[in-house]
Amino acid sequence: MIKDIYQPRKLISLWDMMQILGSYAPSFLDALTVEKEYVKKKILTGNAKPGLASVKDRERAIQLFDFASHWCKSLKLDKADSRIYRFRIDSLNAQSLIRYAPIHAELCSLRQAIISELEERKFVFIPLAKVEFFEKAALFGKRINYRFPSAKLDIKAAGNCLALDLPTAAIFHLMRVVEIGLRALARQLKVKIKNTPLEYAEWNRIITEIEKKIEVMRQMPRGPKKETELVFYRDLVGAFNAFKDVWRNNVMHTRGTYNEHEALGVFERVRGFMQRLANKVSE
């Protein structure tokens, strides 16, 4: 169960956390404490060979440390697991009988090492209302992923930023998505930028050249189909200019920061825009 849950960027429910760290971890640490007290008692009471562990107690210690190693591997507690490995090699696998004192010392140190390494593991809480944005592969719909495949990573990243309260970063990724749409439209209209590959051209130059193409279309014989296309392209150009002036330039040139409400609004605008764009344009 632990191995399945411990995956980077995987959502872990509060119930999972309670099950693992609220029940399993304390139970295991309690087992180490019980064993530590058992060994301490053996040291204090003594036996026929003072300080030497019996074969039964030696096997008992080996089993406990082997289980500890398995448990540490499950939670990827590498430092604690390495400590167990060294102790098993140096002491428990020795030919001579081991003494109780080293076992007791290692149990004390191992418990603290596990607690320290668990404290290093950090988790971020995602409010229920934002879970829908985290690590989702098709936040704009599968159709957008299909028609604009190079935008998939930025759409996903924008969602993760919204989930993790990084609104300005979310808008940054959303503007990258819009830029992918802008260049796709320019290619469809066969826009050329003098002495500059389209991938390196500035938004303003691309938009200007797109407007020139639309003007050429406007001067051609008109009809219902042509009028529909002109309205479609003019609407796109207006949206591109709005994205550029209101958000893209500000976020790219560090002239603005945004709050959660603003980022959610931009997310909805960009999603709607890309869905409209996909009606006639693709990469």
**Does the structure show a pLDDT above 90 at 138?**
yes
Closest CA to 281 of 215, 186, 194: 186
**Does the structure show a pLDDT above 70 at 24?**
no
Distances from the Cα of 116 to the Cαs of 58, 77, 81, 102, 120, in angstroms?
Answer: 27, 10, 13, 21, 7
CA 242 to chain centre: 31
pLDDT band at 140 (very low <50, low <70, confident <90, very high): very high
Question: How far apart are the C-alpha atoms of 24 and 94, rounded to whole Å?
Answer: 31
Q: How much is the pLDDT for 19?
A: 67
What's the average model confidence in pLDDT over 88-110? 76
- Helices 55-74, 78-87: axis angle to 10 degrees equals 160
Q: Would you kindly state where each structural domain of the chain is located, as residue ranges? A: 2-120, 128-277
Closest CA to 268 of 184, 181, 170: 170
Residue range 223-264, pLDDT digits in tens: 787 888 888 989 999 999 999 999 998 888 888 889 999 999
Closest CA to 30 of 110, 116, 113, 111: 111
Residue range 113-124, pLDDT digits in tens: 988 988 888 888
Start-to-end C-alpha separation, the chain = 42
Residue range 30-78, pLDDT digits in tens: 888 888 888 888 888 865 466 788 888 888 888 888 888 888 887 788 9
Q: How much is the pLDDT for 260?
A: 95
What's the average model confidence in pLDDT over 143-154? 97
Residue type, 110: L
Q: How much is the pLDDT for 238?
A: 93
Residue range 163-220, pLDDT digits in tens: 999 999 999 999 999 999 999 999 999 999 988 998 899 999 999 999 999 888 888 7
Structure tokens at 186: 């320019």
